[in-house]
Amino acid sequence: MNKGFVVALATLIGFAAGTFAGSWMQRTQPVPAPPAGGVLGELRDAPLNSAPENPDAPKPSGQPLPDEALRQMKAEIDAFKKKVEPIKLEFRTQLEALLTPVQRERLKAMSEKPPAPKPVAGEKPDPAKDWRYRVYDGMDTTITLVVIPFTLARLNEELGLSYAQREAVHQLLIQRREKFLALVDSTPPPSFNLGKLAPQAAEKK
């Protein structure tokens, strides 16, 4: 796949997430709380509304999203997750087959590592922590599915891959990305429609 296309896709995803966040704040006063996970949150292994929270962070204010629209969004996200899971499972199974027992244990620990907590309001941002929060140390975000050099470097660092393993994992990552992009082409992630719910919430007030 063309490297420029991958970079453009990753940039587009980041832009979409930022645009959604901005439009959400501008269109609704007070701000309603969207489903946990936000745009492309359905790619994560954690169930909807189970994202870890920082206990010191301020609670969201404003009216909730329209109940019916929110229920429909959750149903669509669950359906999309069911389509993503086979792609993840196939990759994980093939990856584990390439690893030693010690590396499998490292992979398990890596997969179970939670994301860094959200920064406290008013706290001076820590670039390292902020990067971990945005990219996530796990294996199930858009970045890890699409940007192969980043994912391969992380797997190599965490698992200590041999040259032969790196070459094999690289091919598995390419296959996973192609399947994921084919799915997105045929079934766009439902969370991209979150922006449409903000005006609905404003009208309900």
Most confident of 25-29, 45-49, 62-66, 115-119: 115-119
Mean pLDDT of 95-111: 93
Average pLDDT over residues 82-101: 95
| pLDDT score of 82 more than 50 | yes
**Which residues, 6+ apart, have CB-to-CB distance to 136 below 8 Å?**
44, 115, 143, 144
Q: What is the pLDDT of residue 142?
A: 78
Show me where the domains of the chain are located: 3-204
User: Which pLDDT value is given to residue 44?
Assistant: 58
Residue 14, pLDDT above cutoff 60: no
pTM listed for this prediction: 0.61
Longest Cα pair distance anywhere in the chain, in angstroms?
60
Q: What is the pLDDT of residues 181-195, one digit of tens each?
A: 999 999 888 877 776
- Spatial distance between the Cα atoms of 37 and 19, rounded to a whole number of angstroms: 15
Lowest mean pLDDT among 65-74, 164-173, 176-185: 65-74
